Amino acid sequence: MFKRDSVTYSIDWLVLLLYFTLVIMGWFNIYGASYDLDHEGSMFNFDFRAGKQFIWIITAFVIGGVILLLDYRFFNYFAYYIYALTILLLIITIFIAPEIKGSRSWLVMGPISIQPAELAKVSTALVLAKWMSRYNFKMKSPRDFIPLIFFILLPFGLIVLQREIGSALVFSTFLLVLYREGMRGEILLMLSLFIVLFILVLKYSASPIANAEGTWGMVLAMGIVLISQFVYTYFFTRHKKEAWILAGSVTALSLIFIVLNKWFFTVNFDYVAIAITAATTPYWLVVELIKRYKKYLFPAFMTLVAIGFCFTSDQIFNRVLEPHQQIRIKILLNMEEDLMGAGYNVNQSKIAIGSGGFWGKGFLNGTQTKLKYVPEQDTDFIFCTIGEEHGFVGSVFVLILYWLLLMRILAIAERQKEAFHRIYAYGVASLLFFHVMINVGMVLGVMPVIGIPLPFLSYGGSSLWSFTILLFILLRLDASRLERR
């Protein structure tokens, strides 16, 4: 029926089906979320959000169709130009965008306003694929790696300048792509470790240790660093004896200070923890020399970095983050409960989802979302409406759709013959994953409130268009695998 090399024949129908399902669910839930008891608009009434979303959906389909009609090589050839164009748009936006809710990220063109930051995600995925699929690309070579970091940091910086920290943070997800293509896994682990340290110091720096000086924050953070060293030595370098010497000395030293504190003088455990941890650095250097084994220099260096990081994380928190961001993080860590203020959104969102129960209240029957208890319920908090009206069943269904989509994209990635296609596919998966993780996590109260949309479901043309473009480029690239060349 179809020609073997036609797009309709070779397109990945499962991804397409998942895409349509999510978009249509989004449309219905936007109708549900913006359904106003005073004005019961129809889903096609263009004065209302659902009606507008209908236009976005139709145009998105058109854009998707156009992309499928393009030659698959187009994206490879023009990746740099597309990237350059979006960077230019981002720069222009900083200067000409009107200030909306404290950010300058919207380009208003008549009735349409678009967010170039959304497009930047697509073009960055393309440019990374292009750069990394170069002949003889080596992750370890600085000549290859530094431009790669630059490609990520440039849009990140410009979007930060637009005061859209949330959208900017999205670019960190490309680390997953880099990891897939050969970046050292330790970097990912190290980043996770630093996030854990940051949270520990922040959360427990206000909990003093009883009958002594110092706080639990620093002691716990240093404990984590020491445990990481132990695990690294024991399992990775397999120097079990050295690992046990470390553990024994640390325990003995700690006990001595605990005894001293109890019977002799008050000890500041902040300094004790830092001193013990810092003392491991010369220890590892000695071990490295004796063993003539080069795998300790990096951990020893990172230990010092971690100490410095913990020592200054309070400062980082207070200086780098703005007050409203500080509060969002503190609420997430249960350090502050401000149900009427900044914690309001998250609390209301939890109430809305929690009240959905197993089966939900039924379409258009959600009381929390209907009555505007949940802010931004058709954009960033759309998952609330699903949770309230469709319950556990509906929410899990949506999560499983995303999971299927992600797994399918990974499978598609791995069946590509071209590195460009594979890397781009990983970029798509990472971007979708990051959005789902942050957006749903924020609605569930396990992630800080970072205003980024839920792919395909949230209201808004920019985000729907850019995710459609993102996905359809992948579909187009994938469909080319059967084409004769």
Residues found near other proteins in the complex (CB under 8 A): 37-38, 132-133, 135, 137, 176, 179-182, 185, 348, 350-358, 365, 367-368, 370-373, 387, 391-392, 395-396, 399-400, 402-403, 406-407, 410, 413-414, 417, 419, 422, 426, 429, 433, 436-437, 440-441, 444, 446
CB of 414 to other proteins, least distance (A): 6
Helix (H) or strand (E) holding 112: strand 112-114
CA distance 374 to 206: 31
Smaller CB distance to other proteins: residue 134 or 240? 134
Closest alpha carbon to 432 in 474, 382, 376, 390: 474
Smaller CB distance to other proteins: residue 334 or 367? 367
Please name the amino acid found at residue 380: D
Smaller CB distance to other proteins: residue 285 or 406? 406
Smaller CB distance to other proteins: residue 181 or 270? 181
CB of 380 to other proteins, least distance (A): 16
CB of 360 to other proteins, least distance (A): 9
Distance of CA 375 to the CA centre of its chain: 22
Smaller CB distance to other proteins: residue 307 or 353? 353
CB of 367 to other proteins, least distance (A): 4
CB of 29 to other proteins, least distance (A): 16
Helix (H, G, I), strand (E, B) or coil at 102: coil
Helix (H, G, I), strand (E, B) or coil at 107: strand
CB of 252 to other proteins, least distance (A): 37
Smaller CB distance to other proteins: residue 53 or 416? 416
Beta carbons of 162 and 104 less than 8 angstroms apart: yes
Smaller CB distance to other proteins: residue 107 or 425? 425
Handedness of CA 60, 124, 116, 169 (dihedral sign): positive
CB of 42 to other proteins, least distance (A): 18
CB of 31 to other proteins, least distance (A): 17
Smaller CB distance to other proteins: residue 81 or 403? 403
H helix count then E strand count, the chain: 19, 2
Phi, psi of 391 (to 5 degrees): 65, -165
Q: Which region, left, alpha or beta, applies to residue 376 given φ > 0 means left and ψ of -120 to 50 means alpha?
A: left
Report the half-sphere exposure of 150 (CA within 13 A, side-chain side).
Answer: 9
Smaller CB distance to other proteins: residue 216 or 232? 232
Closest alpha carbon to 130 in 482, 477, 481, 479: 477
User: Environment class of residue 444 by beta-carbon count within 10 Å: exposed (0-12), middle (13-18) or buried (19+)?
Assistant: middle
Q: What's the CA dihedral at 26, 29, 34, 40 to 10 degrees? A: 120
CB of 337 to other proteins, least distance (A): 14
Structure tokens at 345: 């959104």
CA distance 248 to 262: 21
CB of 159 to other proteins, least distance (A): 23
Structure tokens at 300: 């020893």
DSSP letter assigned to residue 6: S
Helix (H) or strand (E) holding 403: helix 382-414
Crossing angle, helix 269-291 and helix 297-320, to 10 degrees? 150
Smaller CB distance to other proteins: residue 445 or 460? 445
